[in-house]
Amino acid sequence: MLSLATRALVATTAIQAAAACALLTVPSIAPVVASELDVPASTIGTYISLLYVGASTAALAGGGVVLRYGALRLSQACLLGCAAGLLLTLAAGRGGSAIGLATIALGAIVLGIGYGPITPASSHVLAQTTSRENMALVFSIKQTGVPAGTALAGLLVPPLTVAFGWHSAIVVIAIGCLAIAWAAQPLRAPLDADRDRGARLSPAALVSGLAVVARSPALRTMALVSFVYAGMQMSVSGFIVAYLHTEIGLGLVAAGTALTVANVAGVIARISWGSFSDRTGAPRATLALIGFLMAGASVAAACFTSSWPMIALLTVAAALGATAIGWNGVYLSEVARLAPVGEAGKATGGCLFFTYVGVVVLPFLFGWLQRNSGSYAACFVATAIVCGAVATLLAWSGRRSPGRRE
């Protein structure tokens, strides 16, 4: 019989993967959906923005809801929300009527609302069931659910669309979300034993995560770190193919290979960084190291030319993935450590609000700089400067105060 801690890790990882798969379902078949709706494929950018508007708002409120209803129950409800958001997409008819497009927009927001609280809820669960010595590794393993779910969307949704049509593909993913929510039911009683049925859901309680972050200088630093690191993560994922294809001259398949290498490196690095952090007992120093290496990899990316051999390009892509995609588990474990006792979900929700804002803002600035400078290299130099500055702040604040409850 598996221990409760192991079952909690399996359940939270599966829930995280299902939600990430749902989030990327429509983007993974964007050209097909856009063609049927008679809108430009670039409209998917608006869809993604709406996803994160919902996610950032819901993540902020998620920590307060955990106390009233329980972290696992909230996670199950989030998967129901993800399924509902996907199914709303099916209401759009051919030709992209105004009502149909509005329904898809609503579905994106609902899906984002379902996705947002899952990380705060899982942080609450794992903070209660994980020993402090293994916290960074366990959180890192759970966070592999995000790239795993993203990969699952890429592996399942396009083939299902080709075989049965995009409506059927969306239904299959929605059913998968519902199935995982149902499979988690046996863990509700043990994992939600700390819920407070008398907790009030006032507007102040719903945004209490921001208050928790505001009261702690260390958590404020963590919020800034996630704003920059998450923005860098989305910038790498969103622009590296375009950079290598349009500016360096690689074929589209080769450029896509670089993105795959970056994501695979990110999955491996999430676990490796978590293990390293636990062994050293210095999660903030680990995050600072990741930031400095991220800055170095960004400078290397800015130096790309068409004369670089493919192996060198892929090596830098792997370094970008290992840092810009690999930091999350260590970060979330440190937020949980810094949070007041019993408020890991609130602190995570408050910090994640800034994470999602960074996902929206920094890629926008990256694209703006590229359009105005005409150079992706200039963008990577700029991100290197920002990452280096934040890593320096993190290293300095870590030496100045341990900032961690024991």
- The predicted structure's pLDDT at residue 180: 97
- The predicted structure's pLDDT at residue 406: 35
Write the pLDDT tens digit of every residue in 207-217: 677 888 988 99
Structure tokens at 68: 């009233």
Asked if pLDDT for residue 300 goes beyond 90, the answer is yes
- The predicted structure's pLDDT at residue 404: 44
Distance CA 102, CA 235 (A): 28
Q: What angle do CA 250, 254, 23 make, to 5 degrees?
A: 115
* 148-166 mean pLDDT: 86
Asked if pLDDT for residue 200 goes beyond 80, the answer is no
Write the pLDDT tens digit of every residue in 132-144: 788 888 988 898 8
- Asked if CATH classification 3.40.50.720 holds for the domain at 4-190+200-206, the reply, yes or no, is no
208-400 shares the fold of 4-190+200-206: yes
Task: Count CB neighbours of 68 within 10 A.
Answer: 16
Average pLDDT, the chain: 86
Place of tokens 């008398």: 198
Task: Count CB neighbours of 155 within 10 A.
Answer: 12
Task: Specify the CATH architecture of the domain 208-400.
Answer: Up-down Bundle (1.20)
- The predicted structure's pLDDT at residue 403: 43
* 316-332 mean pLDDT: 92
All structural domains of the chain with their residue ranges: 4-190+200-206, 208-400
Q: Contact at 8 Å (CB) between 202 and 61?
A: no
94 confidence band (pLDDT: 50, 70, 90): low
